[in-house]
A and B are shown apart, each in its own frame.
Chain A
């Protein structure tokens, strides 16, 4: 039997006296959201799906011609697009791994009683509060081979961080790690402080070593929240645009978001770029699903 979950409005309440029924209050809250979602998300999503099967170009007056799956075929056969995908995969791997290692490490260091802990935590969070473009511009100066402070301190001479095709992607990932490790740290810290102290006491009584305690107690208990951090960071890293766009224009750093931007707004291949966006969307959804499945498994343990 279906139950009505809605709480009845108290007939003596102010809202009731103004003549607003339960239904109108519900609508008042829901309709704007639904309308917003439909106008700005669902409608463009479906509209661009339609475009992805045409040769439409927003820059001309020529009518869009239906080309079937041609755009998808062309894109998936383009070796440069595959290169963009493998670059993006490499970037996601480097930057998310780096963020988890650094972020979790920082959280472990902070998860104890130390003086000025609050201040240190706040200072560590600063990078994450800056704008991506500003961070990109700062690091471009830091990396500069002629006057950059990084080469100066590391004694690397004129090492070309951003001009070297093999190094550039790492250089961008390092900036991303610097910027977003605090985010992983923050979530990990929340997870760590939730681990019951009595488990550690029990481990100590059993004379379990530090490494054993870490892998058998700390990590499994923090894993669910760490997974959430990883999902967020993977999705963000997958669509990185600004940082890479500002820092370097190497073909070895052309992430899919950059290629997509160029295709859509410099070349005005609207149909083709809609198809591209759909391919990216499907990939992001697939990857997120794998993570969520894994997260559920971790939680179930």
Chain B
């Protein structure tokens, strides 16, 4: 009996110890492990100086960010007070009851106008056009391109390019030009390659890459209100876009079959390619001489237009939401009040965060601050996103299963691929009773 009691006492002491260590952190924000999370930590340190409330930004690698976040949600866990969640999660997290409804907060602070419209639409509102808001746009992001200025401005290259294609070598304005330039610089025997694109078929990497082509070609993934997909994702425009993406794959460096943001930045830092697709969030590293030996020669451009002049880009970025199971919801709301202030948003941008605040984005100061801010500003007003329904992960799986064998494995045709994808998506929507 004595043993039992001492054991229980030890257990109680241990749990008391754990409880004190948890109380030392006032608020916990969960995000993925990347530079913007470090910038956010710097920002919230200033909040602690002002208010005495400490905020910790906890991170996990991108690959298991979704899994870890939802495991915590599903367990109704209170480990995180706020979460900077992906835009596609809105459906799953709001319908699952994991996020606090921020509609009133949104209206009270007129956030629909304070933040850039596209960011409100994709980072905050679910279902589309419902007027219900679940997140505050925090890190705006979209896909853009970096390129080697020195290769583009080399007189010999410029002359050869003009002779071959009949127009001047410059950052591409259209997908046709993008493809020409990729072909032009693709010289495997010189260990130089045309282009770096996303091909990783896990989660949303490759799909985001293909979206850049599909959206700019003027096609859509489907009708986000009626959930119709046939005639959208397999339209002639979408087929042409996918064919173009596959063509770009033939101008990538060897082994380019499981690539995402890390590899695409490496393609530039290692001097492998002329142009590389990536999220704006990863561009600061390309301007840093310590991480990119070609920093002085790296330029940036927005995703080019398609054949009909449509120009869009795939949306990245996240909004910040309050977790329903948090025990510090009031404190979290106070924090958000501070976060949306103009001066906080300005400071956020200075630290390296991509603010979604319309006023800051439009300011001359922001647009001139870095070589890519102008491209970012332009892009943020023409972004489109993937489905945000709760079953988005199943839709991503079908997309990966269909697109990857065509792009990388050279199986079937673009039309067959997209017809099959449309059928898969229709079956998934039918399963969940959408659009009937």
Q: Which residues of A contact B (CB under 8 A)?
A: 57-62, 80, 144-146, 158, 160, 162-165, 248-252, 262-263, 265-269
> 24 interchain pairs (CB within 8 A)?
A57-B390, A58-B74, A59-B92, A59-B96, A60-B92, A61-B96, A62-B95, A145-B254, A146-B253, A158-B254, A160-B255, A160-B257, A248-B258, A249-B200, A250-B257, A250-B258, A250-B409, A251-B400, A251-B405, A263-B397, A266-B203, A267-B397, A268-B70, A268-B92
- Distance between Cα atoms of A107 and B43 in the complex (Å): 61
A59 touches B409 (CB 8 A): no
- Distance between Cα atoms of A129 and B185 in the complex (Å): 45
B393 touches A267 (CB 8 A): yes
- Cβ-neighbour of B202 out of A144, A146, A164, A249 (below 8 A): A249
Given contacts A58-B74, A251-B405, A262-B397, contact A162 B96 (CB under 8 A): no
B172 in contact (CB, < 8 A): no
- Distance between Cα atoms of A263 and B393 in the complex (Å): 9
Given contacts A60-B95, A251-B201, A251-B401, contact A266 B254 (CB under 8 A): no
Cβ contacts under 8 Å, A266 to chain B: 66-67, 203, 393, 397
Cβ contacts under 8 Å, A250 to chain B: 201, 257-258, 404, 408-409
Closest CB in chain B relative to A69 CB, distance in Å: 16
Q: Residue of A at shortest CB range from B191?
A: A146
Cβ contacts under 8 Å, A164 to chain B: 257
B244-286, CB under 8 A of A: which get 1 and which 0? Answer: 0000000001111110000000000010100000000000000
- Distance between Cα atoms of A249 and B394 in the complex (Å): 17
- Distance between Cα atoms of A146 and B212 in the complex (Å): 28
Given contacts A59-B92, A249-B202, contact A269 B394 (CB under 8 A): yes
Given contacts A145-B254, A165-B408, A266-B203, contact A59 B390 (CB under 8 A): yes
B73 in contact (CB, < 8 A): yes
- Distance between Cα atoms of A160 and B257 in the complex (Å): 9
Given contacts A59-B73, A59-B96, contact A251 B254 (CB under 8 A): no
Which residues of chain B in 388-427 are interfacial with respect to chain A, using CB atoms and an 8 Å cutoff? 390-391, 393-394, 397, 400-401, 404-405, 408-409
Closest CB in chain B relative to A76 CB, distance in Å: 16
Given A59-B390, A252-B409, 12 further pairs, Cβ under 8 A = A57-B390, A60-B95, A60-B96, A146-B253, A163-B255, A250-B201, A251-B401, A251-B409, A265-B67, A265-B70, A265-B71, A267-B394
Cβ contacts under 8 Å, A59 to chain B: 70, 73-74, 92, 96, 390
- Distance between Cα atoms of A57 and B93 in the complex (Å): 12
Q: Residue of A at shortest CB range from B89?
A: A59
Instruction: Give the B interface residue count (CB, 8 A).
Output: 34
A61 touches B97 (CB 8 A): yes
Cβ contacts under 8 Å, A61 to chain B: 95-97
Cβ contacts under 8 Å, A160 to chain B: 254-255, 257
- Distance between Cα atoms of A60 and B394 in the complex (Å): 14
B74 touches A146 (CB 8 A): no
- Cβ-neighbour of A162 out of B71, B95, B258 (below 8 A): B258
- Distance between Cα atoms of A178 and B210 in the complex (Å): 37
- Distance between Cα atoms of A160 and B256 in the complex (Å): 9
Cβ contacts under 8 Å, B405 to chain A: 165, 251
- Distance between Cα atoms of A284 and B49 in the complex (Å): 58
- Distance between Cα atoms of A294 and B401 in the complex (Å): 38
Q: Residue of B at shortest CB range from A165?
A: B409
Residue of B92, B202, B390, B393 with most partner-chain A CB within 10 A:
B393
Given contacts A59-B390, A268-B393, contact A163 B254 (CB under 8 A): yes
Cβ contacts under 8 Å, A62 to chain B: 95
- Distance between Cα atoms of A146 and B273 in the complex (Å): 13
A163 touches B257 (CB 8 A): yes
Q: Residue of B at shortest CB range from A60?
A: B96
- Distance between Cα atoms of A208 and B71 in the complex (Å): 64
Q: Residue of A at shortest CB range from B259?
A: A163
- Distance between Cα atoms of A162 and B390 in the complex (Å): 33
- Distance between Cα atoms of A251 and B202 in the complex (Å): 10
Cβ contacts under 8 Å, B74 to chain A: 58-59, 268
- Distance between Cα atoms of A281 and B397 in the complex (Å): 23
Q: Residue of A at shortest CB range from B424?
A: A80
Cβ contacts under 8 Å, A263 to chain B: 397
A163 touches B408 (CB 8 A): yes
Closest CB in chain A relative to B368 CB, distance in Å: 37
Cβ contacts under 8 Å, A144 to chain B: 255
Residue of A59, A61, A146 with most partner-chain B CB within 10 A:
A59
Given contacts A144-B255, A163-B256, contact A249 B92 (CB under 8 A): no
Residue of A80, A158, A248, A268 with most partner-chain B CB within 10 A:
A268
Closest 3 CB pairs of A and B: A163-B257, A145-B255, A267-B393
